Amino acid sequence: MSRANPEIGGLAYSGFRLIKYALERGPMQNLAPADLVKRYGASQATASLRSAVATAFGGYPVQALALTRLATEYVLLCWYMEKRPEEGPAWLDFDAAPPTSAATWRRWCSRQSRLL
Say which range, 22-26, 36-40, 73-77, 91-95, has the weakest mean pLDDT.
22-26
Q: What is the pLDDT of residues 2-52, one digit of tens each?
A: 456 778 777 777 877 776 676 566 666 678 889 988 988 999 999 999 999
CA 55 – CA 52 distance, rounded (Å): 5
Stated pTM of the model: 0.63
The predicted-structure confidence for 51-69, as pLDDT tens digits, reads as follows: 999 999 999 999 999 999 9
Q: What is the pLDDT of residue 98?
A: 64
Question: How far apart are alpha carbons 58 and 4 in whole angstroms?
Answer: 10
